[in-house]
Structure 1
Amino acid sequence: MSGANVIVLYPRKEGSTFDKEYYLKTHMPLAMKHWKKHGFKSYAVTELNADGPYSVTVVMEFDNYEGFQAASQDPGTKEVMDDVKNFSSEAPVLVHGAVIGRG
C-alpha cells in the first residue's frame, strides 16, 4: 500500500476567525506550489458542523510518507506556515501517517 494522508484541523474557539476564501484561493495553491514536487497530489477542504471542536479541516494526499517528510523539510514550508496568520486566528492541529488500506 502506498500513499500518505496529512490532516490539518483548525480549532473552533469563541471569537476565532477563519477566512475560507483566502484559504482556498491563496493558501492551498501556495502549499501545492511548494509541495507538489514532493508528491502532494490533492486536497479536500471541509467546513465542519458548528457543534464540533474544529471549524475546518483539510485532508492532503501525498504519493508516499517519505514525500510528506521531504515536504515538511522543504525551505518553502516556512512560507506556507507563516501564511496561517493571514486566514486563521488559531494554530492548526496536524496529524499524518502512511495509508495502510483503501476501499
Structure 2
Amino acid sequence: MPGIATIFYPANARFNLDHYINKHMPMVLKKWSSVGLSRYIITEMDPAGGYSIQAILFWDDIESFRKALKTVSAEELMADVPNFSSEGPVIMFGTQVGSS
C-alpha cells in the first residue's frame, strides 16, 4: 500500500515559501526519489487552523519513508529548515487505505 507523509509548519512560523517551493522540495524529491518518494503536493493553509503550510509526500510504501528518515539525506534536508522556517515541522505518516 502507498505511504503518505504529511508535514505541517506552524502558522506562527516565519516562512519563506519561495525557498520551500523552489529549492527545498525539489531537493527532497532529488534525494529521496531513489528510495521511494514519487511526488509531493504543497498547500498553503488557512492559518486559523494552526498551520500555514502543508506538504503531502507520496511514497511507494510507508517503510520507504521510515528508511529515508534514517539516511544522511534526512540530516541534510533538516539542516535546510532554518533557511525557510523559524519553526520545525510537525510530521505525520501512515498508509493509504482508500481513495476516490
Q: Is the pair's TM-score, using the shorter chain for normalization, greater than 0.5? A: yes
Alignment of 1:1-103 (within 5 A): 2-13=1-12, 16-103=13-100
What's the TM-score, normalizing by structure 1?
Answer: 0.92
Report sequence identity in percent: 33
Deviations 1:48-76 (A, max 9, x none): 11322000000000011111111111211
Q: Distance in 2 between matches of 1:40 and 1:53?
A: 27
Task: Note the C-alpha offset of 1:100.
Answer: 1.4
What's the TM-score, normalizing by structure 2?
Answer: 0.94
Secondary structure of 2:98 counterpart? coil
Q: Which has the higher helix share?
A: 2
Amino acid at match of 2:9: Y
Task: Note the C-alpha offset of 1:102.
Answer: 1.9
Task: Note the C-alpha offset of 1:46.
Answer: 0.5
Task: Note the C-alpha offset of 1:83.
Answer: 0.4
Secondary structure of 1:51 counterpart? helix
Q: Distance in 1 between matches of 2:63 and 2:47?
A: 35
Aligned Cα root-mean-square deviation (Å)? 1.0
Secondary structure of 2:92 counterpart? strand
